[in-house]
Structure 1
Amino acid sequence: MNKAYIFLFAISIFLLPSCGVFTVNKSKDIPYMAQGQLDNLPEKSLNIFFPKNKKECPVVVFAYGGSWESGKKELYSFLGKRLAKKGIVAVIIDYPLSPAYKVPDMALSVAQSVKWTVNNIANYHGNPDRIFVSGHSAGGHLTALNTLKDDYFDQLCVENPIKGAILIDAAGIDMYTYLKEKKLASGESYLKAFTNDPAVWKDTSPIYYLDNQDPQCLIMMGGKTYPGIKSSTERFLDKSEEIGYEPIYHLQPSKKHVPMITQFIWSGNKTYDWIEEFVKAK
Structure 2
Amino acid sequence: MSFKFFFILIISMLFLTSCSVKKYKNLDYLAPQVKEAPAPTLNIFAKRKKANTLQPVLIFVYGGNWNSGKKETYNYVGRNFARHDVILVMPDYTKSPKANYEDMTKQIAQSIKWTKENIEAYGGDPNQIFITGHSAGAHLGALAVMNPSYQVDINTVKGILLNDAAGLDMYSYLLENQPTAQDDYIATWTEHPENWKAASPYYFIDKDTPKMKIYTGTKSYRSIINGNERFVKKLNEYQPDVSMEYLEKKHAAMVVQLFFPWNKRIDEMVQFMKK
- TM normalised by structure 1 equals 0.87
Structure 2 residue 129 is matched with structure 1 residue 131: yes
Alignment partner, residue 260 of structure 1: 254
Q: Which amino acid aligns with 1:53?
A: K
Q: Which residue of 1 aligns with 2:29?
A: 32
Q: Distance in 2 between matches of 1:263 and 1:250?
A: 15
- 2-side partners of 1:63 and 1:243: how far apart? 25
- CA shift at 1:149, angstroms? 1.8
Per-residue CA deviation, residues 146-202 of structure 1 (Å, 9 max, x unaligned), is 222222126xxx565111111111100001111111134356522221111111110
Equivalent residues of 1:67, 1:190 under 8 A apart: no
> Cα 1:131–1:41, aligned 2, differ >3 Å: closer, same or farther?
farther
Counterpart residue identity of residue 103, structure 1: Y
Q: 2:86: which partner in 1?
A: 88
Instruction: Name 1:226's counterpart in structure 2.
Output: 221
Matches of 2:243 and 2:88 in 1, distance apart? Answer: 21
Using the alignment, how far apart are the partners of 1:174 and 1:14 within structure 2?
40
Quote the RMSD (CA, aligned, Å): 2.2
Identity %: 39
SS at match of 1:237: helix
Q: Is the 8 A contact 2:160 2:210 kept in 1?
A: yes
CA separation in 2, counterparts of 1:230 and 1:77?
27
* Partner in structure 2 of residue 192 of structure 1: 187
Contact 1:186–1:196, Cα closer than 8 Å, also in 2: no
Question: What residue is the counterpart of 1:202 in the other structure?
Answer: 197
Counterpart residue type for residue 263 of structure 2:
N
- Partner of 1:49 in structure 2? 45
Q: Which residue of 2 aligns with 1:271?
A: 265
- Helix, strand or coil for the counterpart of 2:14? coil
Partner of 1:114: 112
Unaligned runs of 5+ in 2: 1-9
Do the aligned partners of 1:216 and 1:246 also contact (CA within 8 Å) in 2? no
Aligned-partner SS, 2:64: coil
Q: TM-score, normalised by structure 2?
A: 0.89
Counterparts of 1:191 and 1:148 in 2: how far apart (Å)? 23
Counterpart-to-counterpart distance in 2, 1:271 and 1:216:
17
Amino acid at match of 2:217: G
Q: Is contact 2:67-2:183 (8 Å) kept? A: no
The answer on whether the counterparts of 1:136 and 1:168 sit within 8 Å (CA) in structure 2 is: yes
Aligned equivalents of 1:185, 1:174: Cα separation in 2: 18
Cα gap change, 1:160 to 1:41, in 2 (>3 Å) = farther
- Contact preservation (8 Å) 2:29, 2:41: yes
Counterpart residue type for residue 30 of structure 1:
L
Q: Indicate conservation of the 8 Å contact 1:146/1:152, yes or no.
A: yes
Aligned residues: 263
- 2:125 alignment partner, SS class: strand
CA shift, 1:53, in A, is 2.6
After the TM superposition, which of the residue ranges 176-185 and 88-97 deviates more from structure 2?
A: 176-185
Q: Whole-Å Cα distance in 2 between the matches of residues 224 and 46 of structure 1?
A: 31
